[in-house]
Structure 1
Amino acid sequence: MLGQRRSQRLQYQETALKPAAPVLLAGLFCFIAASISSAGGVGGGGLFIPMLTIVGGLDLKTASSFSAFMVTGGSVANVIYNLCTTSEKFGGKCLIDYDIALLSEPSMLLGVSIGVICNLVFPEWLITILFAILLALSTFKTLRNGIFYWKIESETVRRSANAELEDGVSGDGTCGETGEGIKSLKEPLCRMEGSEKSRFPWMKLGVLLMIWFSFFLLYLLRGNRYGQGITRMKPCGWAYWVLSLFQIPLAIAFTACILHGRKRLPFQVPVQQGIGDFAQNGSFKELIFPLMALLAGILGGIFGIGGGMLISPLLLQVGIAPEVTAATCSFMVLFSSTMSAFQYLLLGMEHTGTALIFSIICFIASLLGLLIVQKVIQEFGRASVIVFSVGIVMGLSTVLMTSFGALDVWDDYISGKYMGFKPPC
């Protein structure tokens, strides 16, 4: 976790959580952060943790556990909303692409475990530098993709306006032939009414749950490096590492079975021209999704943030539409965040009631953010606001988490602590 040793320096804080003004102020900031994050389908952990620690004055361990519950609350709101709506832009289908989630989830869960080990080994200064560089580049590419989609939408609006002018406009402002008026300008890209729903993929959801329970059972049996688990396993002993390494063949087996069970990945969205040269002419390689998820999971584990913030820019980069990217990422984040939340509960988490309150706050904020963003899309036909929302969250996370980590590095330096590579146990 970025800033892992910060909790050791916050010794002034009592073990009981104090319902003081800073905590309430942090809750307000987290409400705003959750409403922005929900639009892009990212968890928002990169914003929650610095706000809870810097503004709320919580120690890092408590802030991390709260963040897991808050991300879960926001993800639940996103998934419920996306399950209840469909998009006419994509043939009346649900925006969640379960095929991408199926191919990505095993590799993402594996990547998180690898990233956590790397986090324990890498020095704090290296993690901070890598985090700043990676998220700055990802923010730049995400905003560039947002501008790309904005130009496409502007061209669509312009053509719609020209088409209406050619058809003729009556004196009261309505189209003479179509009778639709300016309404067509408001819905050129995405209109979600929920009137035509596709069949719910129960089998795919069952496979995803099986993957989730398989990795979750391994985590519970293995425990952490401090010996916290459901078995009395020696921390970092041979059994600990055998169970840890077993995640590799488990993820490969799940991914291979999913690929074997289908001849071709049926995409819900067309590849956008100009993004992802290797994806042109429909020759999209299925393995790109597990590889992207593995990379996002590793980086998320190293930096202590959710994989959604990292896999969302990757999906946008290869040409997945913003609406589908946001819905699919929020669906995937739900699995990873619930796993973290359950682990905190089973390993003796404190202040559970307060964490649930924060999760409810994020649930409400996420629903509000989704409703506002979808209203903007319906009114102005600007699905690119989703991409810009991701860029804003990533930009703020870059500033907050980098500053947070820089303070850790400086304090370690002036205190004379060891700043080299460390053993994993």
Structure 2
Amino acid sequence: MTPIRRTISAASLAFCIITLLELASRTDAASCSPEEEQLFSCPNCGGIEVSDCGQCDGYLFTDYRRSVCYDRKLFSNEGEGNFLWVDIDLELASAVLITAEGIASILWFLTSGICTACGVGGGGIYVPLGILLMRFPPKSSSGLSQASIFGASLGGILVNISKHHPNEHIRDTRGVPSQDHPGKILSYEKDKGPAAIEADRAAYLDEGDGKRKFYTRPVIDYDMALFLAPMEMAGAVLGVIFQRLFPDWLFVSLAAIVLGFTSYKTFQKFISKRKKDKEERATFLRLSMAESSRINTEHNTEHEGTDNTETANGTIEMTNLENAAEFKKMDSSESDEDDPIELEKRRHFLQDDSRQYPREKISYLILLWIGLTVITFLKGGKGVDSVIGVTCKDPGYYVLLAAQFLWTLGFAAFFGVKNMKMTQAKQAVNYPFLETDVLWDAKGVTHYAGVTFVAGVVAGLIGIGGGMVLGPLMLVMGVHPSVSTATTASMILLTSSSVAVMFVMSGLVPWEYAIYFFSICLVGAYIGKTKIDAHVKRTGMASILIGCLAAIIGLATVGCLVILFLNLDNSGWCIGGFKAFCVIKNEADACPVRLLIEAEDLFPH
């Protein structure tokens, strides 16, 4: 994309956002007053009326036609009010309900596999489906989405934790510097056919000091996760604060605009990557055919019989010797100048990076998760109240809010500096950085920290997971798609697990639904990611992952638009303005469990 087109795209996005903000600022926040809200009867409190059935314990589902809250059971027609949402007889209603949940099971299974393979949670798809297909209220749908993402990300971890980097033949030589990527080296397999590649690898192992071997890495980039994940989380905290100020229609509109723009940019990346993959594949096939053609031509010029076999074998051997000689010529210039101490240090870094389960890095991720979970439970969030009863009117709330920033930003700063020092140490010994590696220098750390923080703000503001923002960001950074998807999928596990437990414990999501869809997504993610990764490895078309990511973000955009118009329709197309930051629910309008006993005494059956 040319600079002019980039400027036009950015300007168009900014114009849409500014227009929405201006509209919200000119709208009176009280224009959609509580008096205009529809009230619903809560059965377990003797008919008390609530504005949100999420306040009605055990009766979370809403029938807008009859203005009542009702209960539902998974794959069952038992329970009061199970079929209040349809104007048909019970037998047909039962079939409709079970069919909807059966269809949802299939969609959740397929979605989890595709989303996990692409490194996103899928909340932008699960939430609209939960509302439209499952008829869940928004908060419950969000909670069900978090449970589903938790299961899917866990299934993805089971696959990713043992997988290697796409390049399993990393060498300890300094390589040929890349002109397009300063500080990195060209791939040894570039512009070579299969026979040349094998001969080149054999020559590498035969040369040197006898200690040569091939290195690889985990497909999960733990160093990147330890830096980007907490930075994105810090941005999300600020984004959630903004979300509390924005009316629902505004942040859903912003979600549609940002996701639509991200989908468009990701699709462009898919087109360019797909073209590159096809060119590399065509080059590889052309070289393979050229090698085979040369061997067959020389073979056909000789006599038939034993002499033919010997000649053919001699031709293959000669081809391999030529390829090996080419490698030796390139390698000799490196070996002549390679300092033994420098080589030993380089091998130490390569060996350290090749550890499949780096315990200290995994321990740091667990520590980050523990701290985040504890603070989240104490402060509350995502529509769930604090476990210690802290509200935004209490000083303790702002202490915990500050603790969230200090914990996440402190983690990011520590590992940003650590990554930068590690890169400098590797560069000092001519470490063979791949073209898809990220070089963490002062400029890069500052740039990506800022971009990731802003991405987190956007994710928290519009209510989506970080994967839909971080995934495209990593692609812009030049990270290999397989590494990008595996790393973001692992980061999603950190946030989805604690939030999912919060929703279930709060009663906003029926536990049987949470466990069922958690299991469906775990199995779907494991099977789907295994199959998709195998296809990518077999074909070499990593661009497939980028294309799926663009499609998922596009579907999430459509889902946001559908929810936007449904919400506006339910509110009588009332467009409210900015809201107050701190609003406490009126307990008189709520229906806590403790009132159930009082209701039974006052309104005996």
Written as runs of structure 1 = structure 2, the 5 A alignment for 1:100-119 is: 100-119=224-243
Output aligned runs, 1:56-67, within 5 Å: 56-67=134-145
In structure 2, the partner of 1:76 is 154
Which residue in 1 is equivalent to 2:167? Answer: 89
CA contact (8 A) 2:255 2:463 kept: no
- The answer to whether residue 254 in structure 2 is matched with residue 133 in structure 1 is no
**Is this contact kept in 2: 1:25–1:56, CA < 8 A?**
no
The CA deviation at 1:48 is 0.6
Cα deviation digits, residues 286-337 of structure 1 (max 9, x gap): 2344333322322222222211111101111121111111000101011011
> Does structure 1 residue 16 correspond to structure 2 residue 111?
no
SS in 2 for 1:344: helix
Q: Does 1:153 align with 2:310?
A: no
- Distance in 2, matches of 1:224 and 1:280, equals 36
Instruction: Say whether residues 1:356 and 2:518 are aligned partners.
Output: no
Q: Which residue of 2 aligns with 1:184?
A: none
Does the Cα contact within 8 Å between 2:384 and 2:502 map onto a contact in 1? Answer: no
Q: Is the 8 A contact 1:412 1:419 kept in 2?
A: no
Within 2, Cα distance between the matches of 1:227 and 1:44? 21
* Cα shift at 1:166: 2.0
Classify 1:269/1:23 alpha carbon distance in 2 versus 1 (closer, same or farther; 3 Å): farther
Task: Say whether the 8 Å CA contact 1:220–1:343 is kept in structure 2.
Answer: yes
1:243 aligns with 2:299: no
Determine the C-alpha separation between the residues in 2 that align with 1:199 and 1:373.
21
Change (3 A) 1:268 1:299: farther
Write the distance in 2 (CA, Å) between the matches of 1:142 and 1:51: 23
Contact 1:76 1:334 in 2 (8 A): yes
Alignment of 1:164-313 (within 5 A): 164-169=288-293, 170=296, 177=316, 198-224=355-381, 228-262=385-419, 263-265=421-423, 270-271=434-435, 285-313=444-472
Q: Does 1:423 align with 2:575?
A: no
* In 1: Cα distance, 2:264 partner to 2:377 partner: 39
Q: Distance in 2 between matches of 1:11 and 1:230?
A: 26
Contact 2:163 2:218 in 1 (8 A): yes
AA at the equivalent of 1:381: G
> Structure 1 residues 69, 225: closer, same or farther in 2, change over 3 A?
closer
Contact 2:474 2:484 in 1 (8 A): yes
Instruction: Give the deviation of 1:197 after TM superposition.
Output: 6.3
What is residue 189 of structure 1 aligned with on the other side? none
CA contact (8 A) 2:151 2:522 kept: yes
Helix, strand or coil: the match of 1:287? Answer: helix
Higher RCO (C-alpha 8 Å, min separation 6):
1
**8 A Cα contact 1:41 1:328, kept in partner:** yes
Percent identity of paired positions between Structure 1 and Structure 2: 24
Residues 120, 15 of structure 1: alpha-carbon distance in 2 compared, 3 angstrom cutoff: farther
Query: Could you tell which deviates more after superposition, 150-159 or 112-121?
Result: 112-121
Deviations 1:332-369 (A, max 9, x none): 01101112112223434442122111011111211222
**How many angstroms apart in 2 are the aligned matches of 1:129 and 1:167?**
57
| TM-score, normalised with respect to structure 2 | 0.60
C-alpha change, 1:401 and 1:283, in structure 2 (3 Å) is: same
Residue 373 of structure 1, aligned match among 529, 532, 536? 532
Cα pair 1:26 1:56 within 8 Å, conserved: yes
Aligned length: 396
Structure-2 change in CA distance of 1:162 and 1:348 (3 Å): same
Work out whether residues 123 and 146 of structure 2, in 8 Å CA contact, stay in contact via their aligned partners in 1: yes
1:378-404: CA deviation from partner (whole Å, max 9, x where unpaired) = 332101111011011001111112221
Aligned amino acid, residue 297 of structure 1 = G
- SS of 2:62's equivalent? coil
In 1, distance between residues paired with 2:495 and 2:432? Answer: 23
Change (3 A) 1:16 1:42: same
Contact 2:251 2:462 survives alignment (8 Å):
yes
**8 A contact 2:159–2:530 mirrored in 1:** no
1:101-126, Cα deviation, whole Å (9 max, x unpaired):
00012222222222222222112232
Opposite residue 390 of structure 1, the aligned amino acid is: L
| Counterpart code for 1:371 | T
Unaligned runs of 5+ in 2: 1-36, 39-50, 54-60, 64-68, 76-96, 171-215, 298-311, 318-352, 583-605
Alignment match, 2:341? none
Give the distance between the partners of 1:268 and 1:214, measured in 2 at CA: 36
Asked if 1:412 corresponds to 2:571, the answer is yes
Higher Cα Rg, which structure = 2
- What secondary structure is seen at the aligned counterpart in 2 of 1:246? helix
SS of equivalent residue, structure 1 residue 114: helix
Cα deviations across residues 60-113 of structure 1 (Å, max 9, x unaligned)? 222111111110111111111111111352532111100110001222222222
Report if aligned partners of 1:292, 1:311 keep a CA contact under 8 Å in 2: no
**1:168 counterpart SS class:** helix
Partner amino acid, structure 1, of 2:116:
S
Change (3 A) 1:135 1:166: same
Matched-pair contact (CA < 8 Å) for 1:269–1:320: no
- How many Å apart are 1:371 and its aligned residue? 2.2
1:340 maps to: 499
2:116 corresponds to 1:38: yes
Equivalent-residue separation in structure 2 for 1:26 and 1:283 (angstroms): 47
- Classify the secondary structure of the residue corresponding to 2:155: helix
Distance 1:164 1:281 in 2: 37
The CA RMSD measured in Å over matched residues stands at 3.1
- Separation (CA, whole Å) in 2 of partners of 1:209 and 1:36: 26
- The 8 Å contact of residues 218 and 356 in structure 2, kept in 1 or not, is answered as no
